[in-house]
Amino acid sequence: EILMLNKNTSEIMGWIGLGCLQFNSVPAIVSSLETGETTPIGTIVLTIIGLSLYLVRSLATNDTLYTVGNVIGLVGNGILLATILL
């Protein structure tokens, strides 16, 4: 049987999932600032490329959840990249 949820519940779960996934760069940023150890730059660059491409799709399909998530992810990974390069 397929899990059936009402639209409101599935929207709330989507936004909670967005928060869990997109704010995962915060501990890496804090750790980078405290210890000087960073995530490999290749990982960050590939993540930024992927998020940018997802952002194009989310804007084209007018998907607010994915657009917000992609923007948050791009900002977080941009900050992480800046801690490496600066």
The whole-angstrom distance between residue 84's C-alpha and the CA centroid of its chain comes to 18
**What pLDDT does 67 receive?**
94
The whole-angstrom distance between residue 60's C-alpha and the CA centroid of its chain comes to 18
Secondary element (H or E) of residue 19 = helix 7-22
For the chain (86 residues), the mean pLDDT of every run of 10, in chain order, is 69 86 82 83 88 92 93 92 87
DSSP state, residue 3: -
Residues in the chain: 86
Specify the pTM: 0.76
- Cβ proximity of 11 and 61 under 8 Å: no
